[in-house]
A and B are shown apart, each in its own frame.
Chain A
Amino acid sequence: MPGSKPNRLHDELDALLDGRPVELTDELAPLAEAANELRVELAGLRLDPEAADRHLERVLHGSAPVVRLPVRGQASGWEVRRRVVAVALAAALVLAPATIASAAALPGQAMYPFKLAIEQIRIASVQWSPPREAGERTRVAQERLEELNRLVELKMFNQIATAVSALDKAVLDAQAAVSEAKQEGQPVPALAATLDNLKTVGGQTLANVVATVSDPSLLPEGTRNAIRAAVAQTQVVVTPDRDIEYAGPPPNPPTPTTDAKPGGGSDPTSPPAAPTTAPQPPETTQAPAPTTTEPPPTSPPTTDPPPTTEETTPPASGGGGDAGSGADERAPTEQAPPTTLPAP
């Protein structure tokens, strides 16, 4: 068969190369001879023993041996400390540059979410200690106030409404933390005083904000309304004349009032024009606000009933170093209905 002859020859040659007995035909003879010459040639190529030693050395000692993974036993105290330090170092290396970069970020800026995330991490890291958590939350509240001032200064009006709400929430959280610390038997009078001061200064800042945004040439009507609504909905940080403007309960229609007076709080560092009250009973009788956020003197705030308060029933146990803070003051705060600022 014409087609089978090459295949037979292929098979015979393959058998020959495999060392199987094959009848050496004339056709196979030169192929066998060529294969033999090649085989002799290849056999003469010998690996240098020194090279072989180098290769074996490289295999046996040049790289890490493959061994079974050891079963992880009980970690020693030193190993635990080492791991903690390693994790802390890694976290610091990752977070430190971002923390520095985001420290001055303001709402609306790219790094601001990162700043908030770092704050949450810091709060979470101290939640095992109520006093430390109170301190951290107070610091956050101060930061929110600082941001609000910066936004007003930079005329970033579209972010002010958000900043006002954030300030109020931060102060509320700090107040709760201070209160919790007190309940845990670890009162933090200095922080409580700082927080009181913060609320006072914050109220003046809000008044300043309202006064600033009253200028129709500065910002659109919608933005102004949003800011005023945010100011009106604050619960703990309130404008000095808030009680006059929004004393009514929510079901009642908003009472037409006048806007906040610029002179009453345009300068956060200046004392308010007249002592006013916040909706919370303990907050209603504050002395004229200090000009900075430094803690006020250790003497408790006065408890004289404010002349403008309509329905203040201060609890009897609200005095002491923590007056104006804690759970005592939160209850009425939460009861205070959110008010809305009437349209100008």
Chain B
Amino acid sequence: MLGFGGEREAVSKVGLTAADLAAARRREPAAVTRIYTAYAPALFRFFMAAVSDRHQAEDLTGTTFVSAIEGLPRFRGPVEALGGWLFQIARHDLYDFRRKQGRSRTEPLEENLNEATAATGGDDPEDLAIERLEGSRVLAAMRQLSDDQREVLLLRMAGGLTAPEVAAILGKTTGAVKALQHRGLASLARVLGLRSPQQPPERPYPSTDPDRLTSQEEEER
């Protein structure tokens, strides 16, 4: 037996209550800090996995949290729904970021590298690039997934949200989310070279059953 879902438990361990939520709406520092402590690490992981840049992920985390705290008086759900609401904001901010990034792609690379150097206190850009490539094997594999699959897996695994919560954020059915996470993990396993001991080496997971194909394989067919 294996179990995942530590993110959810970690959040619940913080012990956020309705009183915390009400106090955070009034910007009471202790309550705001509790909410930040509970969700900021997950938000950062979500952004980091999505943009693969620490500084941008940190900025996005801060921006999302500021937006969330400022918009907290408008949040009417129970404290249990706070995570889903936060990641809805995070997803929106991520789209905004990508749209802006798409507009400013003409910036010269050297300028970006120099900026990165200045931001990291003088590290060599080459070192930064190597550092980024190392340890990102799984995240690189995640980029092989379709956008839907990657988004579902990040919200589930990085955000610690349940399938129904992810379904609510994405506007999909829970069944569709479960199917996407299944296909996404299957694709990830295939890209990472993971397979069941019973499977022959030349036929990595999944099987040839059309119902079990990944979306990429479906596209290839």
Chain B residues whose CB sits within 8 angstroms of the CB of A67 once the complex forms: 26-27
Contact with B along A33-55 (1 / 0, CB 8 A): 11111111111111110011011
Asked if B162 contacts A27 (CB within 8 A), the reply is: no
Asked if A26 contacts B197 (CB within 8 A), the reply is: yes
Report the nearest B residue to A27, measured CB to CB. Answer: B196
A42 with B3: in contact, given A26-B198, A63-B66 (CB under 8 Å)? no
A55 with B192: in contact, given A35-B185, A41-B138 (CB under 8 Å)? no
A66–chain B nearest beta-carbon distance, Å? 6
A72 at the interface (CB under 8 A from B): no
CA gap between A13 and B33 in the complex, in Å: 34
Asked if B157 contacts A5 (CB within 8 A), the reply is: no
Chain A residues whose CB sits within 8 angstroms of the CB of B186 once the complex forms: 30-31, 34
Our pick among B62, B70, B162 for the contact of A63 (Cβ within 8 Å) is: B70
A66 with B157: in contact, given A7-B175, A11-B178, A47-B41 (CB under 8 Å)? no
Q: How many residues of B are counted as interface, with CB atoms below 8 angstroms from the partner's CB atoms?
A: 62
CA gap between A319 and B198 in the complex, in Å: 126
B94 at the interface (CB under 8 A from A): no
A17 with B26: in contact, given A30-B196, A55-B40 (CB under 8 Å)? no
In residues 55-74 of chain A, which contact B (Cβ within 8 Å)? Answer: 55-56, 58-60, 62-63, 65-67
Taking residues whose C-beta sits less than 8 angstroms from the other chain, chain A's interface range is 35 or more
Chain A residues whose CB sits within 8 angstroms of the CB of B182 once the complex forms: 6, 9-10, 13, 31
CA gap between A23 and B3 in the complex, in Å: 11
B166–chain A nearest beta-carbon distance, Å? 10
Listed residue (A2, A5, A35) with the most chain B CB atoms within 10 angstroms of its CB = A35
Chain A residues whose CB sits within 8 angstroms of the CB of B45 once the complex forms: 42-43, 45
Asked if A46 contacts B41 (CB within 8 A), the reply is: yes
Asked if A30 contacts B205 (CB within 8 A), the reply is: yes
Asked if A45 contacts B48 (CB within 8 A), the reply is: yes
Main secondary structure on B side of the interface with A = helix
Contact with A along B45-70 (1 / 0, CB 8 A): 10011000010011001100110011
A19 with B6: in contact, given A30-B194, A58-B66, A66-B26 (CB under 8 Å)? yes
Asked if A42 contacts B157 (CB within 8 A), the reply is: yes
Asked if B135 contacts A14 (CB within 8 A), the reply is: no
B73 at the interface (CB under 8 A from A): yes
CA gap between A104 and B7 in the complex, in Å: 75
A68–chain B nearest beta-carbon distance, Å? 9
Chain B residues whose CB sits within 8 angstroms of the CB of A58 once the complex forms: 62, 66
B78 at the interface (CB under 8 A from A): no
Contact with B along A173-185 (1 / 0, CB 8 A): 0000000000000
A18 at the interface (CB under 8 A from B): yes
Report the nearest A residue to B139, measured CB to CB. Answer: A41
A19 with B3: in contact, given A42-B45, A59-B66 (CB under 8 Å)? yes
Asked if B4 contacts A30 (CB within 8 A), the reply is: no
Asked if A17 contacts B4 (CB within 8 A), the reply is: yes
Chain A residues whose CB sits within 8 angstroms of the CB of B40 once the complex forms: 47, 52, 55
CA gap between A280 and B157 in the complex, in Å: 98
B2 at the interface (CB under 8 A from A): yes
Asked if A6 contacts B192 (CB within 8 A), the reply is: no
Chain B residues whose CB sits within 8 angstroms of the CB of A13 once the complex forms: 178, 181-182, 185
Chain A residues whose CB sits within 8 angstroms of the CB of B175 once the complex forms: 7, 10
CA gap between A33 and B190 in the complex, in Å: 11
B169 at the interface (CB under 8 A from A): no
Asked if B44 contacts A45 (CB within 8 A), the reply is: yes
Our pick among A22, A23, A30, A55 for the contact of B66 (Cβ within 8 Å) is: A55
A30 with B178: in contact, given A5-B211, A14-B163, A55-B66 (CB under 8 Å)? no
Given A35-B4, A66-B26, 9 other A-B residues pairs in contact with their CB atoms under 8 A: A2-B211, A10-B178, A26-B199, A30-B205, A38-B185, A45-B48, A48-B58, A52-B36, A60-B29
Closest 7 CB pairs of A and B: A19-B5, A19-B3, A34-B189, A10-B178, A41-B138, A55-B62, A47-B44
Chain A residues at the B interface, C-beta cutoff of 8 Å = 2-3, 5-7, 9-11, 13-14, 16-24, 26-27, 29-48, 51-52, 54-56, 58-60, 62-63, 65-67
Could you list some 8 contacts between A and B, CB below 8 A? A7-B175, A16-B2, A26-B196, A30-B186, A31-B182, A43-B6, A45-B57, A66-B73
